[in-house]
């Protein structure tokens, strides 16, 4: 949210609260770092109440006070008496005025104490009695009440009236809650709450002008045209500005759109994903580039606990696209070649897209950027510069959730996506005696089950192919769906073909052995003969 306000020139600030225990989390440090580098107008407030549930501060961190951490990020740090209402008000009010004029982050440590348990079940038996007594006399409400009495601002009668009014308000709220009707269980309503239903209209080119472009150029085309279509779209990622990204997809974007909209990020994947959600709350779109899909683990919590659930929890969409250069066959080793789409396929609230051609790459990326929901967009690195196709020069979209029939046949169905599409077509070209449907899923979530079932019911045999390791891969779910919904039309067991259940190796010969392409030809022949 602070980035959106700063980009729009709104003189607003954001206040973010955490307890002292939360300052040990990586997200806290990433947030301070990015806010500092980008001069975001945000006040970070640490409510230091002495205990993280039952763990005292001396067992949580080594510094004398948490405000000392501000210096490490080059920002101002202020420690205040969190039980002094006037000091809290004056400090926050002063800083808010300053930050609206001169945007920057500030860290405040408010020293306070929790007189009850972290939650009622835990109690406070772990707190020394003397410490409870010491803080009891610092009760902020009681002390402020006495201050107002001494100043003649309040009277005892007025205090009594305020307390009665507060109790009446609470009692009225309780009555409303207690009178609420029993929850009506509706599974379809639960499913409908997962995604924001608002969608933009399909984008169709107005002219038939086409150009031959590689996969990587199709991705770049889509981003460039989206930047023109959505003036508040912001691109964020490591090295994507002047350098143009690890794969040069955003090369030249800074000169055209400026550094405010094409933003190099610190190596802080988690907080950048969180900023994406904040931008969406402000009605803006973001594209976040993971330099390699492997690095998304550093943003995992934000993606699978915040971006994915925000609409289900509180009807707030997350208009964020996370681009993921993925896959192997390029000898990049186990930390730059993983296929991790199954992690997100399992997570409700995320759309997962995986184009296999330049045409689909551009159309699906533009559709993802138009979609108000979070989209995980996989791009296979081996296809970037090895594959070219004629694609429309103008922007266009392809519907997310619709598979593509690559070829038709009568003997069996091959269900695949990504690089698997090209493995399948090569294998069939080398085996002209086999007549097969090839179904390119294109979108993994939502999954086009109708296309799968229609093909399998026609051919009676199914082979599911993916680059990811076999165990726990998407192929297992697809095989189960086919077995459940097409069982009476099957003439053979459903066959899965995937990578070995090992990390992807670095050495090229070992990587080739790991990949399922060589084993796929044998599996195809065996299923045909069954």
Q: Per-residue pLDDT tens for 423-469?
A: 999 999 999 999 999 999 999 999 999 999 999 999 999 999 999 99
Give the residue among 377, 475, 379 at the shortest CA–CA distance from 418: 379
Confidence (pTM):
0.95
Report which DSSP code applies to 94. H
**Encoded tokens for 98:** 């300053």
pLDDT (tens digit, 9 = 90+) per residue, 313-346?
Answer: 999 999 999 999 999 999 999 999 999 999 999 9
Residue position matching structure tokens 């973001």: 286
- Position of tokens 């699906």? 364
CATH for 211-392, options being 3.30.70.270, 3.30.360.10, 3.40.50.460, 3.40.50.970: 3.40.50.970
Q: Give the distance, in angstroms, between the CA of residue 331 and the centroid of all CA atoms in the same chain.
A: 28
Domain ranges of the chain: 2-138, 145-179, 211-392, 404-529
Q: How far apart are CA 289 and CA 382, in angstroms?
A: 17
Q: Which two tokens stand for residue 196?
A: 């924001």
- Give the tokens for residue 407: 């070829």
Q: Of 311, 336, 380, 466, which one is the catalytic site residue?
A: 336
Residues 355, 316, 348, 267: is their CA dihedral positive or negative? Answer: positive
Question: What is the reported pLDDT for 121?
Answer: 85
Residues 97-147 have pLDDT tens digits of 999 999 999 999 999 999 998 888 888 999 999 999 999 999 999 999 999
Q: List the beta strands (DSSP E) in 233-273.
A: 234-237, 262-264
Angle between helices 419-429 and 517-529 (to 10 degrees): 50
Q: Which fold has domain 404-529?
A: Rossmann fold (3.40.50)
Confidence check: pLDDT of 199 > 90: no
- Mean pLDDT, residues 255-283: 97
Q: Is 336 among the catalytic positions?
A: yes
Quote the tokens at residue 503.
């990390």
pLDDT for position 341: 98
What CATH number has the domain spanning 2-138?
3.40.50.970
């Amino acid at each position: 949210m602070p980035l959106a306000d700063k980009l729009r020139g709104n003189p607003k600030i954001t206040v973010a609260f955490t307890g002292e225990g939360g300052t040990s989390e990586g997200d806290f440090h990433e947030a301070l770092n990015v806010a500092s580098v980008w001069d975001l107008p945000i006040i970070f407030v640490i409510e230091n109440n002495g205990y993280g549930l039952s763990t005292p501060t001396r067992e949580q961190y080594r510094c004398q006070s948490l405000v000392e951490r501000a210096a490490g990020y080059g920002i101002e740090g202020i420690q205040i008496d969190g039980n002094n209402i006037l000091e809290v008000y004056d400090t926050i009010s002063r800083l808010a005025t300053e930050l609206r004029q001169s945007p920057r982050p500030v860290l405040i440590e408010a020293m306070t104490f929790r007189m009850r348990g972290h939650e009622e079940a835990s109690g406070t038996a772990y707190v020394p009695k003397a410490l409870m007594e010491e803080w009891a006399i610092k009760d902020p409400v009681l002390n402020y009440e006495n201050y107002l009495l001494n100043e003649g601002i309040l009277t005892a009668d007025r205090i009594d009236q305020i307390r009665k009014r507060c109790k009446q308000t609470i009692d009225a709220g309780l009555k409303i809650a207690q009178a609420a009707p029993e929850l009506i269980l509706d599974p379809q309503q639960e499913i409908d709450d997962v995604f924001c239903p608002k969608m933009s209209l399909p984008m169709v080119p107005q002219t038939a002008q086409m150009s031959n472009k590689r996969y990587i150029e199709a991705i770049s085309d889509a981003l460039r045209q989206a930047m023109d279509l959505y003036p508040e779209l912001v691109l964020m990622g490591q090295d994507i500005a002047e350098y143009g990204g690890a794969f040069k997809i955003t090369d030249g974007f800074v000169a055209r759109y400026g550094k405010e909209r094409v933003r190099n990020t610190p190596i802080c994947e988690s907080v950048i994903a969180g900023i994406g959600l904040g931008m969406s709350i402000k009605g803006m779109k973001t594209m976040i580039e993971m330099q390699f899909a492997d690095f998304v683990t550093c943003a995992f919590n934000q993606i699978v606990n915040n971006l994915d659930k925000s609409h289900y929890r509180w009807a707030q969409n997350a208009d964020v696209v996370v681009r993921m250069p993925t896959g192997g066959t390029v000898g990049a080793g186990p930390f730059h070649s993983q296929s991790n789409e199954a992690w997100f396929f399992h997570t409700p609230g995320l759309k997962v897209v995986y184009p296999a051609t330049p045409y689909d790459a551009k159309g699906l990326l533009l559709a993802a950027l138009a979609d108000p929901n979070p989209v995980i967009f996989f791009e296979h690195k081996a296809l970037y510069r090895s594959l070219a196709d004629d694609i429309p020069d103008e922007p266009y979209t392809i519907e997310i959730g619709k598979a593509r029939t690559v070829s038709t046949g009568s003997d069996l169905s091959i269900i695949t996506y990504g690089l698997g599409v090209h493995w399948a077509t090569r294998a069939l070209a080398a085996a002209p005696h086999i007549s097969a449907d090839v179904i390119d899923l294109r979108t993994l979530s939502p999954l086009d089950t109708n296309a799968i079932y229609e093909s399998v019911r026609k051919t009676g045999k199914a082979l599911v192919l993916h680059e990811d390791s076999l165990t726990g891969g998407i192929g297992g779910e697809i095989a189960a769906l086919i077995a459940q919904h097409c069982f009476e039309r099957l003439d053979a067991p459903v066959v899965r073909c995937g990578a070995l259940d090992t990390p992807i190796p670095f050495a090229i010969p070992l990587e080739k052995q790991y990949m399922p392409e060589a084993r796929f030809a044998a599996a195809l022949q065996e299923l045909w003969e069954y």
